[in-house]
Chain A
Amino acid sequence: MSLLDRILLLDIFAGLGVTARHLARPADTVEYPEKAKEPSERFRGMFLLDEERCIKCTLCAIECPINIIYIDWHSEKNAEGKAEKKLDRFDLDMKRCMFCGLCEEACPTNPRSIWLATKTYELGTYERNESLYLDIRKLTQWDGNVKPFPTADPAKAPVNPAKEK
C-alpha cells in the first residue's frame, strides 16, 4: 500500500461510493403487516379440504412424512341403497406440518380434494391446540382458519376452489 493510498483512503471511498449510489434508491422492503407481499400461485400455505370430492382413500395420511393426518370413516347406505363412505374425522396437527405438499401430490381425485395453494400463511395463534389442531369443520371452511389473502382488489382475491365446480 503506497503512501498516497494511506492518506487518501481510496479503498474505503470505493466502498462508500457504492453506499452513496444506493442512497436515492427506493426501498426494497415493505412495511409488514400494513402491507403484505402476495405469495405466488403455487405457494404452499394453509390446507383446504373438499369433503365432497374426497374419496376417503387415506393416501394423504399414508404419504405424510410425519403422520399428522388422521382420517376416520364409516360405511353408510345412501338413498339408492349403495354403500358410501362417510368421513367421521379428518384431523390435522397443523403445529407440526412442514408444508411439503406430499399429501396434495398423493391425492388421487381430479381435481384434487386438498389444496395447499390457498395463499394463507398467517397461522400464528394464542391457543396452540384449539387453533392448530384442526378438525374437518375448520379444514373445509374458507373463512375459518383459511383466510383469503387481503389483496387490495377484492375481485382478484383467491376464490375457494372447492366452491368453484
Chain B
Amino acid sequence: MSEGTPGTAALVPPPEEPTLLGLHEMELNFGPQHPATHGVLRVVLKVDGERIVSARPDVGYLHRGTEKLFETETYPMVIPHTDRMDYVAAATNNHAYCLAVEKILGVEVPKRAQYIRVLLDEMQRVSSHLLWLATAAIDLGAITPFFYTFREREVILDLFEEYCGARLTLNCMRIGGLPVDLTPGWVERTQAFFETLEAKIDEYEDLLTENRIWKERTVGIGVLAADRCVAWGVTGPVLRAAGVAWDVRRALPYECYPELEFDIPVGKNADTYDRYLVRVAELRQSRRIALQCCDWLAKNPEGEIRGKVPRVIKPAAGMAYASVEAPKGELGFFLVSSGANKPYRLHVRAPSFVNLQSLPEMIRGHLVSDLVAVIGTYDIVLGEVDR
C-alpha cells in the first residue's frame, strides 16, 4: 500500500545529508499490542524524528476466515457469525445480512418488524457511538467521558438483553423478520431512556466540545478532503465530516427509513474534530429516529413480526447486494447463491476495512502521538477489518 502504489512515491522525502547515526528515517512498529490501536492493528511507520513519513497498516491479526465459514453454514446459521464481525454493533450486521437474503428470496418484511429493526439499529448506533466517544476520548487523555457514556450504554445493553437475551452478540434478527416479539413495557422503557438521552449528550459536549485540550489534539488533525474520501471509498461519519451528505439510509433507503424524519449531519473541515461533532450530531439524530419508532410501536402494539419464509431456505441461483448504514459506514453483504441451502459466496463490504485503507494518506506528516487520534477517529473494530 505504501511503496508500490503510484502516487505514494511523493511520500518519500528527497535524500538529505546523513545525520550522526547515518539515518534519517526509522522504521517503527505501532501495535499490534498497543492499547490505542483498538484491537490488534499493526501500523508500520517510517518516522523522521517525531514526524511520520509513511504508514502502512498491517491487518490480519484477528482473521478468522468468517467469509469462508459462511459457505459451510446454512442461511439461518450464518446470523450468529455476523454478530462477531463488528462486535460492538451486532444488530446492524444481522440486519445487513438478513436484507441480502430477503432480497434474493423476495420476502416482504412486515411493517412492525421493520420498525423494530430500525429501532434496534438506532439503539445499536447510539451504543456504538457512545463506545467510540469513550475510547477516542480516553486515547487522548480524557477519562471522564468514558464513565458517563458507559452508563448510558449499559441501559441500551440492558434493553437488548431484555429483548433478545444477549447484550453484545445479539443474534436478534432472522431472515424475514425477527425471532421474538417485544416484551411488555419494553417500548415505554426505551422511550423513557431516549427522552433522557438529550441531556446526557449535552453533558458529553460540555466535557469535550469547547475543551481546549480536546481541541488542541483534534482540530486540523487527520484531514482527508471530500474528493480523497470518495477516491478511497470511505463511508460513514468520516465521509460526512468532509461535507459529503452520503448516508445509506437516505441514498439507498431500506426498511421504513423513508417514513422517518431525520437530518444527515455533515462537517466542514474533514478533521478529527469535525468527525467528533458529526458523531455527536448523529447521536441526536438517532435519538430522533428512535423516538419516532417508539411512537409508532406504541400505536401498533400488535402485528406480524415475521414474513412468509420457507422452512428450508433455498434461494434460486443468483446474486444480491444489500447494504445498511452501520455506525462505521456502509456495511454491505454481497451474496451469490447457487441454489443450495448454503451461500455459494458471501462477501462482506466492511466499512472499517475500507476506511482503514486511507490511513497512510491521513496520517502523513503528522506526529506519532497524532496517530492515536487518527486511529481513534476512524472508529474501527478489528473484528470487522479482519473478519
**Chain A positions near chain B (C-beta within 8 angstroms):** 1, 11-12, 14-15, 17-19, 22, 28, 39-44, 63-65, 98-102, 105, 116-117
Since A28-B151, A42-B163 are in contact, a sample of 6 more A-B pairs with Cβ atoms closer than 8 Å, ordered by chain A residue number, is: A18-B144, A40-B161, A42-B183, A64-B77, A100-B79, A102-B171
Interface 1/0 per residue, B187-208 and A, CB below 8 Å: 0000000000000000100111
Question: Once the chains are docked, how many angstroms separate the CA of A3 from the CA of B84?
Answer: 51
Question: Once the chains are docked, how many angstroms separate the CA of A101 from the CA of B170?
Answer: 10
Q: B17 an interface residue at 8 Å Cβ cutoff? A: no
Distance in Å: Cβ of A44 to nearest Cβ of chain B? 4
Distance in Å: Cβ of B263 to nearest Cβ of chain A? 26
8 nearest A-B pairs in the assembled complex, by CB-CB distance: A100-B80, A42-B165, A44-B165, A65-B77, A11-B210, A40-B162, A15-B207, A100-B171
Identify which of residues 191-243 in chain B touch chain A, using a CB-to-CB cut-off of 8 Å: 203, 206-208, 210-213
Q: A1-B212, A44-B166, A100-B169 are in contact. Are A14 and B161 (CB under 8 A)?
A: no
Residue contact A42 to B162, C-beta cutoff 8 Å: yes
Residue contact B164 to A42, C-beta cutoff 8 Å: yes
Residue contact A65 to B154, C-beta cutoff 8 Å: no
Query: Given the complex, which residues of B lie within 8 Å of A14, measured CB to CB?
Result: 206-207, 210-211
Q: B76 an interface residue at 8 Å Cβ cutoff? A: yes
Query: Given the complex, which residues of B lie within 8 Å of A98, measured CB to CB?
Result: 80, 84, 169
**Chain B positions near chain A (C-beta within 8 angstroms):** 73, 76-81, 83-84, 144, 148, 151, 154, 158, 161-166, 169, 171, 179-180, 183, 203, 206-208, 210-213
Query: Given the complex, which residues of B lie within 8 Å of A40, measured CB to CB?
Result: 158, 161-162, 165
Question: Once the chains are docked, how many angstroms separate the CA of A17 from the CA of B211?
Answer: 12
Distance in Å: Cβ of B361 to nearest Cβ of chain A? 30
Question: Once the chains are docked, how many angstroms separate the CA of A102 from the CA of B80?
Answer: 9
Residue contact B77 to A63, C-beta cutoff 8 Å: yes
Chain B residue at minimal CB-CB distance from A6: B212
Residue contact A42 to B144, C-beta cutoff 8 Å: no
Question: Once the chains are docked, how many angstroms separate the CA of A19 from the CA of B211?
Answer: 14
Query: Given the complex, which residues of A lie within 8 Å of B77, measured CB to CB?
Result: 63-65, 102
Question: Once the chains are docked, how many angstroms separate the CA of A100 from the CA of B73?
Answer: 14
Chain B residue at minimal CB-CB distance from A11: B210
Query: Given the complex, which residues of A lie within 8 Å of B76, measured CB to CB?
Result: 63, 102
Residue contact B208 to A28, C-beta cutoff 8 Å: no
Chain A residue at minimal CB-CB distance from B171: A100
Query: Given the complex, which residues of A lie within 8 Å of B162, measured CB to CB?
Result: 40-42
Residue contact B183 to A12, C-beta cutoff 8 Å: no
Question: Once the chains are docked, how many angstroms separate the CA of A84 from the CA of B77?
Answer: 30
Most B Cβ at <10 Å: residue of A40, A41, A64: A40
Chain A residue at minimal CB-CB distance from B213: A12
Query: Given the complex, which residues of A lie within 8 Å of B151, measured CB to CB?
Result: 28
Query: Given the complex, which residues of B lie within 8 Å of A12, measured CB to CB?
Result: 211-213
Distance in Å: Cβ of A9 to nearest Cβ of chain B? 8
Query: Given the complex, which residues of A lie within 8 Å of B163, measured CB to CB?
Result: 42
Residue contact B208 to A41, C-beta cutoff 8 Å: no
Distance in Å: Cβ of B12 to nearest Cβ of chain A? 38
Query: Given the complex, which residues of B lie within 8 Å of A44, measured CB to CB?
Result: 165-166
Residue contact A42 to B211, C-beta cutoff 8 Å: no
Q: A98-B169, A102-B80, A105-B179 are in contact. Are A39 and B161 (CB under 8 A)?
A: yes
Query: Given the complex, which residues of B lie within 8 Å of A102, measured CB to CB?
Result: 76-77, 80, 171
Question: Once the chains are docked, how many angstroms separate the CA of A39 from the CA of B167?
Answer: 10
Query: Given the complex, which residues of B lie within 8 Å of A99, measured CB to CB?
Result: 166, 169
Question: Once the chains are docked, how many angstroms separate the CA of A39 from the CA of B164?
Answer: 12
Distance in Å: Cβ of A65 to nearest Cβ of chain B? 4
Question: Once the chains are docked, how many angstroms separate the CA of A6 from the CA of B386?
Answer: 45
Q: A11-B210, A12-B211, A42-B180 are in contact. Are A19 and B161 (CB under 8 A)?
A: no
Residue contact A15 to B73, C-beta cutoff 8 Å: no
Question: Once the chains are docked, how many angstroms separate the CA of A18 from the CA of B171?
Answer: 37
Residue contact A116 to B169, C-beta cutoff 8 Å: no
Distance in Å: Cβ of A117 to nearest Cβ of chain B? 7
Question: Once the chains are docked, how many angstroms separate the CA of A107 from the CA of B363?
Answer: 53
Distance in Å: Cβ of B327 to nearest Cβ of chain A? 22
Question: Once the chains are docked, how many angstroms separate the CA of A54 from the CA of B212?
Answer: 64
Residue contact A11 to B165, C-beta cutoff 8 Å: no
Residue contact A117 to B165, C-beta cutoff 8 Å: yes
